[in-house]
Amino acid sequence: MDGDRRGWLQCLLCGAVFAVCMAGTTLPTPLYGLYQEKFGFSELTVTVVYAVYAFGVIGMLLLAGNASDAVGRRPVLLAGLGFAALSAVCFLCANGLGWLYAGRLLSGLSAGLFTGAATAYVMDLAPRGGSSRATFVATATNMGGLGCGPLLAGLLAQYAVWPLHLSFIVHLVLLAGSVAVLLRLPETVAERRPLSTVRPQRPGLPRQVRAVFAPAAIASFVGFAMFGVFTAVSPTFLEESLNVDNHAVSGLVVALGFFASTGGQLVAGRVGPERSLPLGCAALFAGLVLLAGALRWDLLVLVILSAIVAGVGQGLAFRGALSAVAAASPAHGRAAVISTLFVVAYAGISVPVIGVGVLARPLGLEGAGLTFIACMAVLVTSAGVYLLRRPVGAST
């Protein structure tokens, strides 16, 4: 019993470190409007600054996503915390746009290292027989951390001093505490190899996975695109269209989506991928409809409902997608298939968000948002119809 308690304590401590790192990736969300005022850049620039993060994540996933299997969990996570600290320093020193790009890129590199290594470490540390609970710990701390970032920054920017600096100072303190925690956790990789043995992961898609992968990837793309647009442009929409200039409210709206995703993933674990994927597509479609209503009629309540409903849909769809493609993949190629799914998902954070920024100038934020919603609705409806006609259990 004592061993189990110790194992769960270590598992939860690792999850807390995971949450601290991921919080840093969304910390700037409610601050973009302040950066726009300070540096005078356009809405397109905001979306590009945000999307640089996704390019960092994708690059690190492909280059070193499997590094912790070779060199150990702790060294990789310590490196991830180092990138997170450098990102915070960039934002603290920011006196021009280049610092923001550098900060977001470093944040993406940090998340790219943490995404796989921290998930594996949480599961390694859990007591035997606790893999299902450990998976939820990893999921909850990942999404919970992403939600805590904008909530913390919004509260500090609105009600404390130094709105563009205090959040990153607090994050540096939390990162220092995370380093201390990591150094006290045991290493779980018994046979470690030199870093020189790590090879880039090449995305792969065996023939037997393709029927499952297509709808799963589309649903993942749309879910991450929704988060990308909410995180990048919702604070601007709230301020310009709804006259909500409270940074804490902006941070809370974004945080609700991430917290709802945690709930959606918990439900997905109970209903299975054959039901969670089409349910996730339906919830994402409903979230898109609510967001369209919010843009059309300038209603805050619809923005909040859209964040919650789309968050649940994203959680259902993404956990269902991961489960479905993992089950359909051959054991020797599973990591490559999952890496491909993550690449598609993170492309959803970057490409549509930049598209909204490009369209915002000629069409306005409402027109750009409605165009985005129409495109995403077509994609998620196509995936949902496919899944209803050919459930993932039948596809495999």
Most confident range (mean pLDDT) of 49-63, 172-186, 381-395 is: 172-186
pLDDT on residue 395: 44
Judgement on whether residues 73 and 156 belong to the same structural domain of the protein: yes
Lowest-confidence region among 64-78, 200-214, 382-396: 382-396
Judgement on whether residues 254 and 163 belong to the same structural domain of the protein: no
pLDDT on residue 89: 98
pLDDT on residue 359: 93
Confidence of residue 343 (pLDDT cuts 50, 70, 90): confident
Instruction: Please say which residue of 186, 219, 242 terminates a domain.
Output: 186
Task: Kindly report the CATH number assigned to the domain that includes residue 55.
Answer: 1.20.1250.20
Structural domain includes residue 91? yes
Instruction: Please say which residue of 157, 186, 215 terminates a domain.
Output: 186
By residue count, the chain amounts to 396
Judgement on whether residues 260 and 330 belong to the same structural domain of the protein: yes
Q: Does the pLDDT value for residue 260 go beyond 50?
A: yes
Judgement on whether residues 261 and 344 belong to the same structural domain of the protein: yes
Q: Which residue has the higher pLDDT, 120 or 178?
A: 178
pLDDT tens digits for 305-340? 999 999 999 999 988 888 888 788 886 667 678 778
CB atoms within 10 A of CB 392: 25
Q: Which residue has the higher pLDDT, 41 or 332?
A: 41
In three-state secondary structure terms, 181 is: helix
Judgement on whether residues 84 and 127 belong to the same structural domain of the protein: yes
Judgement on whether residues 255 and 176 belong to the same structural domain of the protein: no
Average pLDDT over residues 99-109: 97
- Amino acid sitting at position 61: L
pLDDT on residue 240: 87
Average pLDDT over residues 138-163: 95
pLDDT on residue 276: 92
Average pLDDT over residues 336-357: 87
Judgement on whether residues 287 and 226 belong to the same structural domain of the protein: yes
Judgement on whether residues 170 and 226 belong to the same structural domain of the protein: no
Structural domain includes residue 191? no
Structural domain includes residue 140? yes
Please state, for a pLDDT cut of 70, what percent of the chain lies above it: 97
Judgement on whether residues 181 and 327 belong to the same structural domain of the protein: no
Q: Does the pLDDT value for residue 393 go beyond 50?
A: yes
DSSP of 159-177? HSS-TTTHHHHHHHHHHHH
Q: Does the pLDDT value for residue 396 go beyond 50?
A: no
pLDDT on residue 394: 52
Please give the Cα distance from 291 to 257 (Å, whole number): 12
Average pLDDT over residues 185-203: 84
C-alpha distances in Å from residue 183, one per residue of 17, 59, 77: 11, 27, 10
| Number of domains within the chain | 2
Structural domain includes residue 195? no
* Angle at alpha carbon of residue 31, lines to 29 and 35, rounded to 5°: 125
CB atoms within 10 A of CB 5: 10
Q: Round the average pLDDT of the chain to a whole number and report it.
A: 91
Give kind and range of the element (H or E) at residue 187.
Answer: none
Please give the Cα distance from 358 to 2 (Å, whole number): 57
Its domain, for residue 70, covers 1-186
Please give the Cα distance from 289 to 310 (Å, whole number): 10
Q: Does the pLDDT value for residue 187 go beyond 50?
A: yes
Structural domain includes residue 193? no
Say if residue 295 is exposed, middle or buried (CB neighbours under 10 Å; 0-12, 13-18, 19+): buried
pLDDT tens digits for 281-294? 999 999 999 999 99
C-alpha distances in Å from residue 177, one per residue of 64, 174, 184, 266, 293: 25, 5, 11, 29, 43
Judgement on whether residues 153 and 206 belong to the same structural domain of the protein: no
CB atoms within 10 A of CB 388: 12
